[in-house]
Structure 1
Amino acid sequence: MRLLIIAPEEIPVPPPVGGSVEHCIYHIAGQFSSSVHSVTIISRWKNGYPRTSTFDHVTIHRVNGTSSKPYLSQVIRKVKNRKFDLIQIDNRPKFVPAIRREFPHTPISVFLHSTTFISPPMTSISQANKDFNGADLLIGNSLSLQEHLKKKFPKHSSKVHFVHLGVDLGQFHPSSRNNSGTRPFTVIFAGRLIPKKGIPVIIRAMRKVRQSIPSARLVIAGGTGKSEYKRYLKKLSVSLGVPTTFKGYVARSKMPAFYNLGDCFVCPSQGHEAFGLVNVEAMASGVPVVASRNGGIPEIINHRHNGLLVTDYRNPEAFAKEIFAVATDREFAARLAKQAREDALQNFSWRKTAKKLESIYASEIRTRRSV
């Protein structure tokens, strides 16, 4: 299979920091079978990156364009007149009409990582519906997102599939520091500093936890495009007396070490969390996870088996209760961490992600060729 993957315009592949979509593209492409497939990725160019790079059976071409229209124009210019068996567009349904015009007979898949780019204010439901007319497949990263797509876009329901994401199980692994009782109990969070991630809920929960565990502290990794929101979070931490370290953007290469700082990882998502890759990374790292029972998260975390789920996830006290359980029952926390690692090994490798995607794509190509 000759596969073309078109990345979003914002961040290069592989991403230097953040960029969960670009991170997924890079790892999935690398896990496609090299004996059967060749993969071409078109990504944004950024100073310091080569225009073209290759590894194994994957070639990455990087083009100019920091906004969608000039970037898409450069993408089309780069791939014009080339032959592909299938084209995957990640998180940009609005790219579909232009790519369809250029490749009228090639199957097109839209791989969606969240509901952001199929919802207002990024687009309207009617416009997304029109964009999907040119797609042959819609791939969500969770069963929850699959069901959301079917409900919102019923006329395209037969195109919808889901593929769980994965984690580099060699890079993310447990550290003995997680079980050490010689340091303050440390709660960690990783993600964008935006309201729907629920960071104020953690801060308020930590205030409650610290009433019983005064040494407990919070460490947050992630950046924001709105400095005033970060200032608000810092002010909230100070006003509630919660010792909080804001580490800002953390390079992908340093994320395994970040997870190993933690005794507990908290994901208090308030909006629909399609998958929650950070939860799987924490699980693979042997860190007990406390997360909202929201979106695709319950597909990853089984309550009290490999992590803890909070149903009343708008309530800081509900999070505080579960964090306190991890902090005060180290045997229970160790069991959660051990099972989390085992489940990550069993269910969430990048190879498993790639194999399921390969199967969906091969079936689509066979169907198209038989018509």
Structure 2
Amino acid sequence: MHICYITAEYPVLNLPHGGVGTFVKTLGYKLIKNKFDVSVIRISNVDKVKIVNDKGVKVYLVPKSSLPFSFIPNSLKINRLIKKINKKHKIDVVETSELGFAFIRKIKSIKFVIRMHGGHHYFSLAENRKLEKKKVWQEKKSFFKADHIIAVSNYVGETTRGLLKLGNKKIQVIYNPIDVKKFYQSDSSKVEKFTILFAGTIIEKKGIRQLIESLKFLVDEFPEVKLKIAGRDSTLPGTNTPYRPILEKSISNKIKSHIDFLGVLPNSELPKHIEQANVCCYPSHMEAMPLAWLEVLAMGKIFIGSLTGPGNEVVNDNVTGLLSDPHNPESIAEKIRWVFNNENLSNVIARNAREDVLNRFNLDKLAEENINYYKSLNQN
């Protein structure tokens, strides 16, 4: 079978990337090993179409338009490329996320699959943002074109079903997989005491501001506490205004010296930083099925996530990790304090976390689920 993914986040040539792209890359490698053909179309800041062979995954980098309403010329380029690829090597499935099919022309011989990673309706509700009419129209149009739907968690699937009035439409839930070899069992002897790691995009919805504010409830009791922040800056929603400078201005002198911004880390270096942290804390306001959480849990590290959304679906509170109220800095601080004061119990929870990942989120297991699902589409 030939699967073609459309994503602007695929990690290649040091271009900025995201969780959806990491998912496609991880699954793509497994599909290649199972005799699938995998193509990826990525709109990028390149000067001309480039084709990169990433361990068998054929990545088509398409120049991003600089014209007004760039989504129109970008979509035209994607349509032409799909048609060209399909003519040369028949595509069985095109997969993208929620808004991805809005301007993609249907080809009868190709199954269109949406994999819900959290769309416009979903995150607007979570962040209490107004819906944008243009994106509402695009998302509804995209789902109308989809032949099949996958959700990366029960929560994102059922929440989106309600928001978009999808009725009884079948939604297949397949969790995001994690490579438990790359994210190995960590060595507790390498832990740096009283260090907290945050890894993710630096933006309000990731809970980074509340995590920083939690330090003011910890520094007096733990004067050695250090928060290490790894990730790229983002912009305020609907603007081109960078978020990090605004965030840094809000940091009080009392806690400023306890914070290190590490910048963007190569994904290959992340396991080392996870291993060294005393606790990893990613208090997102909302997620769909966060790969970043799974990376920490896979390494047998004590982890603090969020009670919101699919939090309970990913983490069994007080058994495989800890869940906090991501909007409440005191709640976050309470969980961090518990970890610092309960090393032995934290280690038990951390061991449970890796065991749970091996059982539920193992790449081999979930790759097989995806393979069986794709093969079933040829029978419909």
TM-score normalised by length of structure 1 = 0.87
**Deviation, structure 1 residue 363:** 2.2
CA–CA distance in 2 between the matches of 1:105 and 1:77?
16
The C-alpha deviation readout for 1:36-71, integer Å capped at 9, x for no partner, is 422222223555999223356532222222553333
CA–CA distance in 2 between the matches of 1:43 and 1:24?
14
**Deviation, structure 1 residue 209:** 1.9
1:92 to 99, 110, 134: 99
CA–CA distance in 1 between the matches of 2:302 and 2:48?
36
CA–CA distance in 2 between the matches of 1:113 and 1:250?
23
1:106-125 equivalences under 5 Å are 106-116=110-120, 120-121=131-132, 123-125=134-136
Aligned to 1:193: 202
Aligned to 1:133: 144
CA–CA distance in 2 between the matches of 1:50 and 1:334?
49
Aligned to 2:5: 5
Q: One-letter code of the match for 2:323?
A: L
CA–CA distance in 1 between the matches of 2:47 and 2:11?
11
CA–CA distance in 2 between the matches of 1:115 and 1:249?
25
Structure 1 residues 337 and 265 mapped into 2: Cα distance closer, same or farther (>3 Å)?
Answer: same
Aligned to 1:346: 359
CA–CA distance in 2 between the matches of 1:283 and 1:145?
20
Question: 2:186·2:300 contact (CA, 8 Å) conserved in 1?
Answer: yes
**Deviation, structure 1 residue 360:** 2.5
Question: 1:268·1:292 contact (CA, 8 Å) conserved in 2?
Answer: yes
Matched position secondary structure for 2:263: coil
Aligned to 1:212: 221
Question: 1:221·1:249 contact (CA, 8 Å) conserved in 2?
Answer: yes
CA–CA distance in 2 between the matches of 1:160 and 1:72?
26
Question: 2:298·2:357 contact (CA, 8 Å) conserved in 1?
Answer: yes
Aligned to 2:379: 366
Structure 1 residues 344 and 146 mapped into 2: Cα distance closer, same or farther (>3 Å)?
Answer: same
Aligned to 1:327: 340
Structure 1 residues 303 and 88 mapped into 2: Cα distance closer, same or farther (>3 Å)?
Answer: same
Which structure 1 residue ranges, 5 or more long, are not aligned? none
- Identity across the alignment (%): 25
**Deviation, structure 1 residue 342:** 1.7
Aligned to 1:19: 18
Which structure 2 residue ranges, 5 or more long, are not aligned? 125-130, 236-240
CA–CA distance in 2 between the matches of 1:105 and 1:117?
30
Aligned to 1:225: 234
1:1-371 equivalences under 5 Å are 1-8=1-8, 13=12, 16-32=15-31, 34-45=33-44, 51-54=50-53, 57-65=56-64, 67-80=70-83, 82=86, 83-93=90-100, 95-100=101-106, 103-116=107-120, 120-121=131-132, 123-155=134-166, 157-176=168-187, 178-179=188-189, 183-226=192-235, 228-242=242-256, 243-270=258-285, 272-310=286-324, 312-367=325-380
Q: One-letter code of the match for 1:278?
A: A
Matched position secondary structure for 2:327: coil
The CA RMSD measured in Å over matched residues stands at 2.6
TM-score normalised by length of structure 2 = 0.85
Question: 1:12·1:44 contact (CA, 8 Å) conserved in 2?
Answer: no
Question: 1:18·1:250 contact (CA, 8 Å) conserved in 2?
Answer: no
Matched position secondary structure for 2:301: coil
Q: One-letter code of the match for 1:232?
A: I
Tell me the number of residue pairs that the alignment of Structure 1 and Structure 2 aligns. Answer: 359
Structure 1 residues 173 and 135 mapped into 2: Cα distance closer, same or farther (>3 Å)?
Answer: same
CA–CA distance in 2 between the matches of 1:91 and 1:258?
32
**Deviation, structure 1 residue 307:** 0.4
CA–CA distance in 1 between the matches of 2:115 and 2:358?
24
Structure 1 residues 22 and 139 mapped into 2: Cα distance closer, same or farther (>3 Å)?
Answer: same
Structure 1 residues 35 and 268 mapped into 2: Cα distance closer, same or farther (>3 Å)?
Answer: closer
**Deviation, structure 1 residue 287:** 1.9
Question: 2:46·2:61 contact (CA, 8 Å) conserved in 1?
Answer: no
The C-alpha deviation readout for 1:260-297, integer Å capped at 9, x for no partner, is 23111112122x31112111111112221111111122
**Deviation, structure 1 residue 91:** 4.5
Question: 1:18·1:222 contact (CA, 8 Å) conserved in 2?
Answer: no
